[in-house]
Amino acid sequence: MLFAVTYIQNLDPLNFRLLSTIMAALPVVVLFYLLVPRRWLASKAGAAGALVAVLVAWLVYKMPLDMSVMSFVHGAGFGLLPVGWTVFNAMLLYNITVQTGQFKVVRQSISVLSNDARVQAILIGFSFGAFLEGSAGSGAPVAVCGAILVGLGFPPLRAAVICLIANTSPVAYGGLGTPIVVLSQVTDLPGETISVMAAHQLPILSCLIPLWMVKMMCTWKQTWEVMPAILVGGGSFAVFQYFFGTMHLWIPGLELYHVTDVAGGIGSMAVLGAFLRLWKPKNEWHFDEAARVADAQIARTSHNHEAAAFLEDLSKNDGQRLSMGRVIKAWMPFAIMSICLILCGFLRNAEAKADEAKKLYPNEPEKHYVWFGPIKSKYLIDIPTLHLEVQRAEQLQKPGLPEPEKEKAQFAFIWASAAGTPVFVACVLSAFFLRMNRKQIWDVLRKTTHQMKVPIPTIACMMGLSFVTRYSGIDATLGIAFAGTGVFYPFFAAMLGWLGVFLTGTDAGSNALFGSLQKITATAVYRDHTAAFAPLTETQAQILICTANSTGGVMGKMIDAQSICVATAGTNQVGREADIFKAVFWHSVVLAAIIGLLTLAQAYLYPFKEMVPKKIGNEYVVPVEISK
């Protein structure tokens, strides 16, 4: 056969849906059984979970063993580049500021705005983290902001949890809008319309998340004391998020939703910083010393001597006057990083345009790469035995294709546009700017390498597991279980996105995995249930449900293995992955359920239904009664 493949996904391999679903869940169950109750080191638990996934794919799903193994290798490679590369360099930049003494000044400059831990959490964890998510993603917000908060005196466990919760509502626009771009590609729905729908959901969460973060830190009374800062920080970001996500509706032709988080993060920091010049909380609040001592004790008893030393070495104000020149110098590494990340965003856009050009002119592919002299910015390496050898299950196929869709398996060696590369460039420039000597540079490299020796292999194992489940169809079996809920599906559409991010580690990955399924299911529910989505049109129903995959998915970001490993690395808590997972799990579930309920209301209840875009692409749709 001309289009023959080695493996065709079967989402019910045992011909018994419940049993197939149980077997599909087995790798995840094993992973978290070993990680939480058994308290295995995350790298070992990840390796064990990946092994179970390979065995389930081979023995239950009948995927050839070599393909199952190469799926793991493909995922592990993605875990190293771009994810591990980004985390390593984010920690490297932070260690440069510590080694040169500049982080003391960073901490003092934040304290000048506010020495209150609740306000610092909003300013750094939420606003600055949103900017980093929009610029880079890939764990950079959790790694950098977590390290900064610990340096400001936050107990590391709390710092990790705060940053994981904060890194939610900005995620759908993360990496210069990558999740929305991916969702548009797999569903053939206009990206600008998906952005509008997301902007009609996420700003509500952006107002809620800072409140959620602060309440998790302290009592309701203490939370109420900083309500003005919560409203200003979260509210200003929500306004920017809504404005940039929908700007093309008000100014036709001006599509800036790709920079929604970048603009929102900068705007939120500027507005909140100006507000803090005029307002201070009546009672300044800090984490008590007992919490920090307890975390240090846990680090010692878990034999994490690096973390214990890190916690016990939190220095106080150095006593020098805080001049504007010192503040600018201290923040310069982060400013350089921000500029490099934004410039990298232009490179990503150029690569995206080149990819589109290659589709239009397939006979001249070499003309449509981005070149740096004789070197391309991106190399696509076909994974042996896997690339175009997996045919997607029938339920996941896009309708109207001339032939069944096959899964691509190409390792993208994106040495230039990976988020870690501009951060590495920032590290080099910062080392020159701060006049580091050879001994300082060597000490920073040695310390960072030691810190990353467990987190990066862990990330590689976790991503390997997720790729095995993706290519074998294991994760789609779990997704199909959500699709049988009929008129309640708008709620479960968000929960399916949550599951997708939990499994794949990224909102873009969840959109690539379940985006087509969401569109297919939305169409089926719309046509088969007379009460479903009325009076929305079929296209509006598809927009709502597909967007819910992304907006619900962002709440899974705080519990996916990649994020938790990055959080432990950024806050020097390797070995406490289980503690962090337990601390954020129910926050993740409840927030995802809130998105699900909002989606359900937008599907059925007035005036929420009015929030579903009526302009799809360049055309307006008029809801009409149809025979279903």
pLDDT of residue 26: 93
pLDDT of residue 473: 87
Element (H, E) at 620: strand 619-620
11 belongs to a structural domain: no
Out of 85-89, 133-137, 354-358, 424-428, pick the least confident.
133-137
pLDDT of residue 619: 58
Residue 203 is encoded by which pair of tokens? Answer: 């700003």
Q: What is the pLDDT of residues 260-292, one digit of tens each?
A: 887 898 889 889 989 998 998 988 888 875 455
587 belongs to a structural domain: yes
| pLDDT at residue 238 tops 90 | yes
541 belongs to a structural domain: yes
Q: What is the pLDDT of residues 331-340, one digit of tens each?
A: 898 788 878 8
- Written as one string, the DSSP assignment of 234-270 is HHHHHHHHHHHHHHHHHSTT---GGGHHHHHHHHHHH
Dihedral pair phi/psi, residue 526, rounded to 5°: -60, -40
Out of 72-76, 245-249, 374-378, 509-513, pick the least confident.
509-513
Element (H, E) at 539: helix 538-553
Reported pTM: 0.70
pLDDT of residue 373: 80
The arithmetic mean of pLDDT across residues 499-518, rounded, is: 74
List, in order, residues 6 or more apart from 407 with CB less than 8 Å away: 386, 388, 390, 391, 392, 471
Closest to 212 (Cα-Cα) out of 188, 190, 233: 233
The verdict on whether omega for the bond into residue 490 sits within 30 degrees of 0, i.e. cis, is no
Q: From CA 483, how far away is CA 486, in angstroms rounded? A: 7
Residue 543 is encoded by which pair of tokens? Answer: 């927009």
What is the pLDDT confidence band of residue 232, given thresholds at 50, 70 and 90?
Answer: very high
Residue 320 is encoded by which pair of tokens? Answer: 């020098």
The arithmetic mean of pLDDT across residues 492-503, rounded, is: 84
Q: From CA 579, how far away is CA 599, in angstroms rounded? A: 31
Closest to 409 (Cα-Cα) out of 85, 4, 69: 69
List, in order, residues 6 or more apart from 598 with CB less than 8 Å away: 201, 204, 608
Average pLDDT of the residues of the chain: 81
Closest to 518 (Cα-Cα) out of 180, 181, 202, 187: 187
Q: What is the pLDDT of residues 252-261, one digit of tens each?
A: 766 677 778 8
pLDDT of residue 571: 78
478 belongs to a structural domain: yes
| pLDDT at residue 314 tops 50 | no
2 belongs to a structural domain: no
List, in order, residues 6 or more apart from 152 with CB less than 8 Å away: 107, 110, 111, 117, 120, 124
What is the pLDDT confidence band of residue 180, given thresholds at 50, 70 and 90?
Answer: confident
Q: What is the dihedral of CA 59, 64, 69, 74, to 10 degrees?
A: -130
Dihedral pair phi/psi, residue 92, rounded to 5°: -60, -45
Out of 238-242, 286-290, 382-386, 485-489, pick the least confident.
286-290
Give ∠ CA 408-497-591 in degrees, rounded to 5. 150
Burial of 605 (0-12, 13-18, 19+ CB in 10 A): exposed
421 belongs to a structural domain: yes
**297: containing domain:** 17-620
Crossing angle of helices 191-199 and 538-553, in 10° steps, is: 60
- Per-residue DSSP letter, 394: G
379 belongs to a structural domain: yes
Residue 606 is encoded by which pair of tokens? Answer: 């007035």
The domain total for the chain is 1
pLDDT of residue 215: 93
Closest to 247 (Cα-Cα) out of 177, 347, 342: 177
Max avg pLDDT among 205-209, 332-336, 396-400? 205-209
What is the pLDDT confidence band of residue 330, given thresholds at 50, 70 and 90?
Answer: confident
| pLDDT at residue 46 tops 70 | yes
Core vs surface per residue 289-317: b (16+ CB within 10 A) or e? eebbeebbebbeebebebbbebbeeeeee
Closest to 513 (Cα-Cα) out of 58, 188, 183, 56: 183
What is the pLDDT confidence band of residue 65, given thresholds at 50, 70 and 90?
Answer: very high
Q: Collapsing DSSP states into helix, strand and coil, what is residue 390? A: strand
Q: Could you give the count of Cα atoms lying within 13 Å of 405 in the half-sphere of its Cβ?
A: 15
76 belongs to a structural domain: yes
Closest to 477 (Cα-Cα) out of 1, 15, 2: 15
Residue 516 is encoded by which pair of tokens? Answer: 């087509």
Dmax (CA) for the chain in angstroms is: 77
Q: What percent of the chain has pLDDT over 90?
A: 27
